[in-house]
Amino acid sequence: MFESLSDKLKRTLKNLRGEGVLTKEHVDAALREIRLALLEADVNYKVAKDFIASVKEKAEGQQVWQELKPSEQVVKIVFDELVDMLGGQSSRLVFTRQIPNVVMIVGLQGSGKTTSTGKIARWLAANQDRKPLLLSVDVYRPAAREQLKVIARATGQQIFEQTETNDPLTLVRAAVKHAQQTGFDTLLIDTAGRLHIDEELMEELVNIKNETHPVEILFVC
């Protein structure tokens, strides 16, 4: 989503160079591209609508800040709104005494879930004194589980593997049992990419959630 939004912004913001005030025409041109990028990334229509309204309110008619060009000001306003929409200030994950605490990583195909899973595991180990175990339940994409294995090795994390099965729930149950027996307090589950219209795959997520009772479900976009 962010790559698409960035490309559309670059094209739109070229028209703002050299201006001293952000006019309604400038803002409308930029927001049309931003709205399209959000909707193309499968962002909920109401969320996109509210986001655009908030950016428009803050951008229209503002004098350019002393050190910022009009194009840069639009970027800053959009960035601030994206940060706010995605939860504002970053925070630590909250864990319980449950062993293991499960964190599900979900998102669209190609959004970077597998890479993010490795990075999150490394961050938790370094910053929250956790002992994470990685698990891939992406049994559909060729070499998906091998990719997580490579990332786990690169980030110095441990991964659970059970190559004899392609059933996500079987993998989850075995990984939870392994974590309990070997002292891993956090299980990060890298799920298969999917759209909300893929009913079978969405049901699979629900089943994994009901099986593991995750403390967090992180959406990668």
Average pLDDT over residues 2-12: 61
Instruction: Give the pLDDT of residue 81.
Output: 77
Q: Which CATH architecture has domain 2-85?
A: Up-down Bundle (1.20)
Instruction: Give the pLDDT of residue 18.
Output: 56
Q: What strand order describes the sheet that includes 101-107?
A: 158-159, 132-136, 186-190, 101-107, 216-220
pLDDT, one tens digit per residue, over 206-217 is 999 999 999 999
Residue 23 or 61, more confident: 23
Q: Exposed e or buried b for every residue in 134-148, given b needs 16+ CB within 10 A?
A: bbbbbeeeeebbebb
Instruction: Give the pLDDT of residue 171.
Output: 96
Full-model pTM = 0.65
**Among all chains, which residue has been given the structure tokens 């027996």?**
181
What is the location of CATH 1.20.120.140 in the chain? 2-85
Instruction: Give the pLDDT of residue 31.
Output: 81
Residue 63 or 94, more confident: 94
Task: Say which range, 16-20, 22-26, 122-126, 173-177, has the weakest mean pLDDT.
Answer: 16-20
Distance CA 59, CA 193 (A): 35
Instruction: Give the pLDDT of residue 66.
Output: 47
Instruction: Give the pLDDT of residue 65.
Output: 47
Beta strands 132-136 and 158-159 are: parallel
Domain 101-220 is found in CATH 3.40.50.2000:
no
For residue 88, what are its two tokens?
């504002």
Q: How many CB atoms lie within 10 A of CB 99?
A: 14
Instruction: Give the pLDDT of residue 69.
Output: 61
pLDDT, one tens digit per residue, over 51-89 is 888 888 777 655 544 445 656 666 777 777 777 776 666
**Among all chains, which residue has been given the structure tokens 């950016």?**
55
Q: Exposed e or buried b for every residue in 102-125, given b needs 16+ CB within 10 A?
A: bbbbbbbeebebbbbbbebbbebb
CB 130 within 8 A of CB 99: no
Q: Do you know the residue count of the chain?
A: 221
CB 117 within 8 A of CB 134: yes
**Among all chains, which residue has been given the structure tokens 């409308």?**
28
For residue 163, what are its two tokens?
């190559």
CB 210 within 8 A of CB 112: no
What is the location of CATH 3.40.50.300 in the chain? 101-220
pLDDT, one tens digit per residue, over 156-184 is 999 999 989 999 999 999 999 999 999 99
pLDDT exceeds 90 at position 185: yes
pLDDT, one tens digit per residue, over 108-166 is 877 789 999 999 999 999 999 999 999 999 988 878 899 999 999 999 999 999 989 99
CB 131 within 8 A of CB 183: yes
| DSSP letter assigned to residue 186 | E
Distance CA 184, CA 34 (A): 42
